[in-house]
Amino acid sequence: MYLLCSVQQILVANISASDSCDVAYEKFVSFYQKQPSASSQSIFCSQLQYIAINGGKLFKNSDINIAPSFRRLPKRKFSSSTPNCSEELCFSFDPVKPLKRTYKSISLYEAGLSTVPKQQGDCGSCWAFGTMAVFENSVLRQKPANTFWSQKTDLSEQYLMSNSFDYFTSYCEGGDFVFAANYFNEQFQTIESETNVKYDYAALEPMWNQKQKIQTVVQPENYLKPYQLFNIEGSSNMKTPVVGIHTDTRKTFSKITIWQIKSYLSRGVAVSAAMYTETDYPKFKAYSGTKSLDVKCPGDESDHQVTFVGYGYKNGEEVWIIKNSWGQDWGANGYLYVPIGKDSYCTERYAFAILPIGFQFNEELYSNIGSHERGGIFDLDSDNGETVKRPLQQWIVWVSVLGGVLAVGIIVIISICISKKIKNKKEYKPMIIDTAFEVMR
């Protein structure tokens, strides 16, 4: 049972606001059956102090500093028709048509198209969890569904981590969805089930250090790569599963990008995202999940891989739903809300996706996933499946602006011409008079 913390009461593990740090920590380790240590107590006490002053929430890993490690993306190179996808950003142009109408509110986890948030621990493996979150959504969403995988949608992050050996897919030292998906496509034959290869990064790290791969348990007849392939941007002979929706992290999402991400989600397709938790780490770590987090982004920064799994309204404010990898007792049952259009925690600078098998570029709304009654403290506001019309296209706005500029320019030019004619007439008449005067003389 995970309850909210406040200045008045901190009830997780029966901890109260009046408990000293030592007493609270003793209750905490007993409740979660943890091994106590001086370092974990120091982290716990620091978090407890923050919650007592600012409000927030304790959760299972309040005694560790989770390692959100995310590799900064290099700039895409266009110098070669055969790009090296282990060193440069490889993706396809976005082939998906934006919808004319999207759902007003959509939650992929409520729709059964997103698995339960898992726990990465103090390993910088957010990239693996973010990648598998997108792959799991693709397995749940694909048409026709593979009968074997329809019962095994919880995929193994450990299998991806242990069999990836690349700078941008580097075990507990960080990685990135774009590189992980491309590496998977080149080096792997199949996804693997969490049942077959469980997450145990500490025990399996020595094998990875020695470059010893984990054997595949899934039988060849059930091998699956849950995505479509497309030509890499700038190359006519290389394929990628990655679709670029927003690829320039120096810029925030435009209204067109926001609508396109909503179009993906309204079709039941998750979108890979990134954020910068160090903007305000204590606040992020103690997030209660009952409202959105609005923390200003300092610039082009990222340190954590997450996933867009929905959007809608929370307490009347339009928000993104973001799937994290810190377990279900963190935030809103493992999810985070941030306001749309504000780039909170730098969440609106990165958006990539894969397209499930059977997905069509011009598909309409995914049926029966937009109506949610809700009502819980961690839920979005209720809706009845309403849809929203696409806002005025940006090119129409630009045409209007350009037309206005041209109209003003024409008016200015006409005004100058008329002014010159009037001036010429005024100057011409005195000249005639002068000439006549000279003749008369």
Domain 101-389 class in CATH: alpha beta
Q: Evaluate whether 13 touches 31 at the Cβ level (below 8 Å).
A: yes
Average pLDDT over residues 434-440: 31
pLDDT value at position 393? 55
Q: Which of 134, 127, 156 is nearest to 69 (CA)?
A: 127
Give the sign of the dihedral formed by CA 99, CA 105, CA 110, CA 114: positive
pLDDT value at position 198? 97
pLDDT value at position 7? 32
Q: Evaluate whether 183 touches 85 at the Cβ level (below 8 Å).
A: yes
Band (pLDDT 50/70/90 cuts) for residue 434 is very low
Tokens 């009502």 found at: 375
pLDDT value at position 13? 77
End-to-end CA distance of the chain: 114
Rounded Cα gap, residues 323 and 243, in angstroms: 19
Average pLDDT over residues 382-402: 69
Band (pLDDT 50/70/90 cuts) for residue 423 is low
pLDDT value at position 84? 85
pLDDT value at position 252? 96
Band (pLDDT 50/70/90 cuts) for residue 405 is low
Band (pLDDT 50/70/90 cuts) for residue 125 is very high
pLDDT at residue 145 tops 70: no
pLDDT value at position 329? 92
Rounded Cα gap, residues 111 and 321, in angstroms: 13
Band (pLDDT 50/70/90 cuts) for residue 438 is very low
pLDDT value at position 81? 67
pLDDT at residue 399 tops 70: no
Average pLDDT over residues 257-283: 96
Rounded Cα gap, residues 269 and 262, in angstroms: 10
pLDDT in tens, 235-266: 878 999 999 999 999 999 999 999 999 999 99
Average pLDDT over residues 33-53: 92
pLDDT value at position 179? 94
pLDDT value at position 330? 95
Please report, for the chain, the start and end positions of each structural domain, with discontinuous segments joined by +. Answer: 1-64, 101-389, 399-441
- Helices 126-141 and 177-187 meet at what angle, rounded to 10? 70
pLDDT in tens, 362-386: 899 998 787 788 888 999 999 888 8
Least confident of 7-16, 22-31, 96-105, 352-361: 7-16
What's the whole-model pTM score?
0.85
pLDDT value at position 61? 92
pLDDT in tens, 303-335: 999 999 999 999 999 999 999 999 999 999 999
Q: Is 268 exposed, middle or buried (0-12, 13-18, 19+ CB in 10 A)?
A: buried
pLDDT in tens, 187-203: 999 999 999 999 999 99
pLDDT value at position 417? 66
pLDDT at residue 129 tops 60: yes
pLDDT at residue 420 tops 80: no
pLDDT value at position 11? 61
pLDDT value at position 297? 95
How big is the CA angle at 306 (ends 98 and 58), to the nearest 5 degrees?
135
pLDDT at residue 395 tops 90: no
pLDDT at residue 144 tops 60: yes
pLDDT value at position 409? 65
Question: Mean pLDDT over all residues of the chain?
Answer: 86
pLDDT at residue 74 tops 80: no
